[in-house]
Structure 1
Amino acid sequence: MKKITSLLLPIFVIIFSFGVHAQVEQAPAGFDVLQNSIAHGKIDTVVYTSKTVGTERTTLVYTPPGYSAEKSYPVLYLLHGIGGDEFEWLNGGHPEIILDNLYAEGKVEPMIVVLPNGRAMKDDRAEGNIMAPDKVQAFATFEKDLLNDLIPFIENKYPVIADREHRAIGGLSMGGGQSLNFGLGNLDVFAWVGGFSSAPNTKQPAELVPNPEEAKKQLNLLFISCGDKDGLISFSKRTHDYMSENDIPHYYYVIPDGQHDFNVWKDSLYNYAQLLFK
């Protein structure tokens, strides 16, 4: 795995790269605006059986423009925050628009994107006290649901390439912490890992990566991003610091004037998606 020297760009992007990817930069104006003149992907709501939870659960699935069951695709599992559900990305970030626009410019590899509900419990709606212990615990339980129920379902229903090299995970806030926890904790499953404004559920770095040398061999991409005005940036920075101290190549993208909101998360997805599966 090659590594290039770290550099500080004028827009305060710090990059520790694998030496094979494009430069990370702030998303341009219009990157998230619907364009009627281009081809569009499709979002479906599908139901899968969760043995982990003991019920049927719903997830959204984005298939790219030109999708064909005769082709094979890599998959990105894109996770929401503590106050959301499987519709949070769709309602707040419109990843389908961001991805459609990137496809039109030839900047991303064709991929299927799965937007699940990361609150693995029978009543998985973001209602009432979202900080209740059982609801917080359900975000940790989702690791089993993801690995044992959702991924096998997706790989049975869709024409995906079912190996770690073609499996990515990413998410915002609580979902960013999940992505780092589940992705770095299961490098036999995921080779591409991204955490956007990761929340306090993020494990301590030494627990995330207890064997840095092994992680270097297995990771194709680690992408960490956060707004510089986000009160939770310490969780992203401590992960970045540990990776730097252990010479683990990664991207650390600090967005100027960025808060804990979809302006940061959309920008993060715009950049993360372009780095995947290349």
Structure 2
Amino acid sequence: MKKGILILTMLIASSLILSACDSQTPDTSASSEVSGTENRLEAENNGVLSDTEKDTNRFPASLTSIPDSYLTEAEQRGTLQDLYYDTYESFSYNEKSQRLQKHAVVYLPYGYDESKQYPVFYLMHGGWSNEYTYLGSPDEPQGMKHILDHGIANGEIQPMIVVCPTYNNTSPEDSGNYGLALRLTDNYHNELINDLIPAVEGKYSTYAEDTTPEAIAASRDYRAFCGFSMGSMATWRTFEHSLDYFRYFMPSSGGPAASTETYESVIKDSGHEWDDFFIFAASGTNDFAYSGFKNGIDAMRESDSGLFRFADNEAEGNLYYLESDGDHSGEYAMLYFYNGLRWIWR
């Protein structure tokens, strides 16, 4: 009981930090498939999955609550690792005149096996935050880490690698400056594609054959970018600048960062079709970012270009949106992440 209270306390602390700011199925081995099937059957029998979710790869009609038990430590626990890599100062990136060493927290699922391939989920923090906000550290894991552990053990979430990086540049305080953070998220694609992804996917077993731009692009079906608030702005910017390297995008309560017409031009200019990506978006009706966020989603939904098609599954569309009655807080951020994670790569 004391342990549960401690974990819940850490979750609330994370929520307070955040509130200040702002289908492709993996080709796994036979043994992994058997384990996943057993876990999924257990989830069905425990009533974790809805009747619709049991038989389809469709999103539910409303957001699914995080079970209370998922906020405590799981029996089957993945591991957190520190990853350090070299990059360059954001605003002079092209000149490569100022080298920086940066850090990301990496989640490896329980039973991680280097002989298997894993999809990668890049999860960006919001304002007044950093790479420790969601997963915590190897010594002090946070609530999102426990949610992943339980969800994977119960067959709700596919085994995957989760990476929490930071767009903070020369100072850990950068995310607390709203205007600066906006500019950094717009620039972040340089570091993301050239430095972070090669560092992650050159070390861990993913679907990328190597870390060349060609190999990263070829494995885009097994790569997602997600974020809440300023992390959502980073997600929209990743769609804008890096569609060649990511298939899935999960923004919530922040943005969109550009107009629907801009995104349509990105899709056309990149040579991608409507069925080459999927956006799952979410926000809360009491969230101060709700109005602008929903208006942006509605503009995509109502576009007659054919490039955005609203549907609860990949076969019929590439855009889906759910909302809660929530505010702009870490509690709701993790609710949105959890719902996206239950669907992706299933």
Q: TM-score, normalised by structure 1?
A: 0.83
Aligned partners of 1:93, 1:184: CA distance in 2, in Å? 30
Give unpaired runs (5+ residues) of structure 2. Answer: 1-22, 24-55, 209-218, 311-318
50, 55, 77: which one pairs with 1:40? 77
Query: 2:262: which partner in 1?
Result: 207
337, 341, 344: which one pairs with 1:269? 337
Secondary structure of 1:186's counterpart equals helix
105, 112, 118: which one pairs with 1:67? 112
134, 149, 152: which one pairs with 1:100? 149
Q: One-letter code of the match for 1:126? A: E
Q: Is 1:181 paired with 2:237? A: yes
Secondary structure of 1:209's counterpart equals helix
Query: 2:282: which partner in 1?
Result: 225
146, 151, 158: which one pairs with 1:109? 158
Specify which structure has the higher proportion of helix.
2
Aligned partners of 2:103, 2:247: CA distance in 1, in Å? 25
Alignment of 1:1-278 (within 5 A): 20-23=57-60, 24-30=62-68, 32-36=70-74, 38-51=75-88, 52=93, 54-91=99-136, 94-119=143-168, 121-123=169-171, 125-126=172-173, 130-131=176-177, 133-162=179-208, 163-199=219-255, 202-210=257-265, 214-219=272-277, 221-246=278-303, 247-249=308-310, 250-256=319-325, 258-278=326-346
Displacement of 1:135 in angstroms is 4.6
Structure 1 residues 207, 103: CA separation in 2 closer, same or farther (over 3 Å shift)?
same
Q: TM-score, normalised by structure 2?
A: 0.68
Aligned partners of 2:178, 2:345: CA distance in 1, in Å? 37
Deviations 1:119-178 (A, max 9, x none): 2x222x026x82265454222221211111101111111111121000000001001111
Displacement of 1:70 in angstroms is 1.5
Aligned partners of 2:69, 2:228: CA distance in 1, in Å? 19
Structure 1 residues 60, 259: CA separation in 2 closer, same or farther (over 3 Å shift)?
same
Give unpaired runs (5+ residues) of structure 1. Answer: 2-18
Secondary structure of 2:334's counterpart equals helix
Q: One-letter code of the match for 2:243? A: L
Specify which structure has the higher proportion of strand.
1
Q: Runs ≥4 in structure 1, deviation > 6 angstroms?
A: none
RMSD: 2.4
- Report sequence identity in percent: 25
Q: Which moved more, 1:75-84 or 1:229-238?
A: 229-238
Aligned partners of 2:253, 2:181: CA distance in 1, in Å? 20
Q: One-letter code of the match for 1:30? A: D
Aligned partners of 1:172, 1:95: CA distance in 2, in Å? 13
Structure 1 residues 245, 90: CA separation in 2 closer, same or farther (over 3 Å shift)?
same
Q: One-letter code of the match for 1:42? A: T
Q: One-letter code of the match for 2:65? A: A
Answer whether contact 2:125 2:231 (CA < 8 A) is retained: yes
Structure 1 residues 208, 83: CA separation in 2 closer, same or farther (over 3 Å shift)?
farther
Q: Which moved more, 1:26-35 or 1:49-58?
A: 26-35
Aligned length: 254
